[in-house]
Amino acid sequence: MSDLKGIITAMVTPFSEKDESLDVAAARNMASWLIEHGVHGLFIGGTNGEFHLLNDDEKELLTREVVDEVAGRVPVIAGAGCCGTTHTCELSRRLADAGADYISLVTPYYLVPKQPDLRKHYETIASSTDAKLILYNIPGQTGCKIEPETADALADVDNIVGIKDSSGDFDTQLAYIEISKHKDFGVFNGSDSLMLKAFKAGSAGSVAATSNVIPEIEVALYDAFVAGDLEKAQAERDKMDLLRMTLKKCVAPAVMKATLNLMGVPAGITRKPISMPDDNVMADVHTMLAEYGIPEA
């Protein structure tokens, strides 16, 4: 897991403003823009990537195109988690064949399997592919939590190599980190507000939606942390809150996409039923960019 650490952008998926179709050219451009601004990895087809609104063919195409654009510069994690085990096995193989370095597996959603069933779900997926798999815990969205005891058991599976925790429950992330101290199992923070706290506790990386917009700030945070300059790391962490508060004014990733568009990084629109920001929210976005000193295109 030595290649997967630091700031990993939970990249948004660009859709055409004309018909909501997948805009692969914009996705390729965005991937390179993020790498040029220092991020250490890309997480595509996740929550902020509107995976729930992408079909399997689009997920495979997105993965293939981004992997080709990245050309090995940073690791690419692709989201393959589905409600059903068989479906997830099939999609995991497709995305691995498309070149993803790691496959992320969000828990089943809407369904709420018991922990023994959840463990069997992941073990079955792992046995169906040689791909390196990362569990994804986000119970606020899925209704299904990966209990630390379940994660501990799954960490013994050879190709289950880590977990992304977006629960916002730091005690849960600490329990995962404790597992990582004894097993070859990476922990990746998925709650941007906890980024620095997670690094201090031992998380290997942070899968950060906010790094779509302010990659340089978050890379500076990580670099300062690694260098032992915790005062600078905290100063960079404090800069994140303006963006975090602005993003909450709409359903994700509407504000994110609108902001990127203003920055000259085409992100297109959200797919329905989620709408793009209205004029009042856009006024806040303009103000936010001015406060960050980010020029508009």
Catalytic site residue 222?
no
What's the length of the chain? 297
Percent of the chain whose predicted confidence (pLDDT) is above 70:
100
Query: Does some domain include residue 44?
Result: yes
Q: How many domains does the chain have?
A: 1
**CATH number of the domain that 38 lies in?**
3.20.20.70
pLDDT single digits (tens) 155-193: 999 999 999 999 999 999 999 999 999 999 999 999 999
Q: What is the pLDDT of residue 239?
A: 98
Query: Does some domain include residue 248?
Result: no
Which positions ≥6 away from 239 have C-beta within 8 Å? 214, 217, 292
Instruction: Give 40's pLDDT tier (boundaries 50, 70, 90).
Output: very high
Dump strand ranges (E) for 112-258.
Answer: 133-137, 160-165, 186-189, 205-208
Query: Does some domain include residue 246?
Result: no
Domain residue limits at 190: 6-237
Query: Does some domain include residue 131?
Result: yes
Query: Does some domain include residue 264?
Result: no
Query: Does some domain include residue 288?
Result: no
Q: What is the pLDDT of residue 115?
A: 98
Q: What is the pLDDT of residue 59?
A: 98
- Catalytic hit among 164, 176, 222, 257: 164
Which positions ≥6 away from 78 have C-beta within 8 Å? 44, 45, 59, 62, 63, 95, 98, 100, 102, 103, 104
- To 5 degrees, how large is the angle CA 101–CA 106–CA 107? 145
Instruction: Give 67's pLDDT tier (boundaries 50, 70, 90).
Output: very high
Cα separation, 140 vs 194, whole angstroms: 16
Catalytic site residue 164?
yes
Cα separation, 194 vs 132, whole angstroms: 25
Cα separation, 46 vs 121, whole angstroms: 19
Instruction: Give 2's pLDDT tier (boundaries 50, 70, 90).
Output: confident
CA 192 from chain centre, in angstroms, equals: 10
Query: Does some domain include residue 210?
Result: yes
Mean of pLDDT values over 115-144: 97
Mean of pLDDT values over 189-201: 97
Query: Does some domain include residue 257?
Result: no
Q: What is the pLDDT of residue 290?
A: 98
- Calculate the average pLDDT of the chain: 97
Cα separation, 63 vs 214, whole angstroms: 23
pLDDT > 90? residue 1: no
Number of Cβ within 10 Å of residue 2's Cβ equals: 6
pLDDT > 90? residue 137: yes
pLDDT single digits (tens) 69-98: 999 999 999 999 999 999 999 999 999 999
Which positions ≥6 away from 241 have C-beta within 8 Å? none
- Catalytic hit among 59, 102, 132, 136: 136
